[in-house]
């Protein structure tokens, strides 16, 4: 039997703006075990991205959990500080954004950007992180990964 990895119970999340409260999520509940795959589908604006961002603790300052709980891998996301969240982001939980133009910087090589993320989330030095970035690019079939 696999272990419970994600447990969202009755999540209610609102954004507080100068115009007032915007209720973004209302009683969202999700349970996933280790190894499960979940697809969330819905119309534009239905809360798919906000749900994912809330798991990552990325709902911006205006976004507040007003009810329910979010637990990931034993961590109570809704009670964690930003510093604690930074420690698990990229190591235990990650998000793949839809638009690569908002995720990647065209000024820097992909290898450089991967290396920076590795260095941010691990104790690897620059050389070790570069070697790992080249290894990852090789795994996905990128030609001449050391130049990328």
**8 A C-beta contact, residue 87 and residue 67:** no
Tokens of 63: 């976004």
Looking at the predicted structure, is the pLDDT value of residue 15 above 90? yes
The residues with which 6 forms a beta bridge, in sequence order, are 32, 72
115 closest CA partner among 101, 136, 97, 91: 136
State pLDDT tens for residues 92-143. 888 776 676 677 787 889 999 999 989 988 889 999 999 999 999 999 999 9
Looking at the predicted structure, is the pLDDT value of residue 40 above 80? yes
Q: How far apart are CA 74 and CA 5, in angstroms?
A: 7
Higher pLDDT, 104 or 70: 70
Q: What is the CB-side half-sphere exposure of residue 24 using CA atoms within 13 A?
A: 23
Q: How far apart are CA 35 and CA 141, in angstroms?
A: 25
**8 A C-beta contact, residue 67 and residue 54:** no
Phi and psi, residue 39, nearest 5°: -115, 135
Q: What is the CB-side half-sphere exposure of residue 114 using CA atoms within 13 A?
A: 19
Domains of the chain by residue range? 4-80, 101-147
Mean of all residue pLDDT scores within the chain: 89
pLDDT at position 94: 81
Please report which confidence band the pLDDT of residue 44 belongs to, taking 50, 70 and 90 as the band edges: confident
Averaged pLDDT, 72-84: 91
Looking at the predicted structure, is the pLDDT value of residue 58 above 80? yes
**8 A C-beta contact, residue 48 and residue 11:** no
């Amino acid at each position: 039997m696999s272990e419970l990895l994600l447990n969202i119970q009755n999540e209610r999340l609102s954004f507080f703006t100068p115009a007032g409260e915007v209720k973004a999520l209302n009683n969202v509940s999700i349970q996933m075990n280790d190894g499960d795959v979940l697809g969330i589908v819905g119309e534009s604006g239905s809360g798919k991205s906000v749900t994912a961002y809330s798991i990552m603790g990325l709902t911006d300052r205006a976004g507040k959990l007003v009810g329910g709980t979010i637990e990931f891998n034993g961590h109570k996301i809704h009670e964690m500080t930003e510093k604690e969240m930074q420690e698990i982001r990229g190591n235990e939980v990650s998000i793949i954004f839809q638009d690569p133009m908002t995720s990647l910087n065209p000024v820097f090589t992909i290898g450089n950007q991967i290396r920076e993320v590795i260095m941010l989330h691990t104790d690897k030095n620059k050389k070790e992180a570069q070697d790992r970035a080249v290894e990852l690019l090789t795994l996905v079939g990128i030609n001449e990964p050391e130049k990328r």
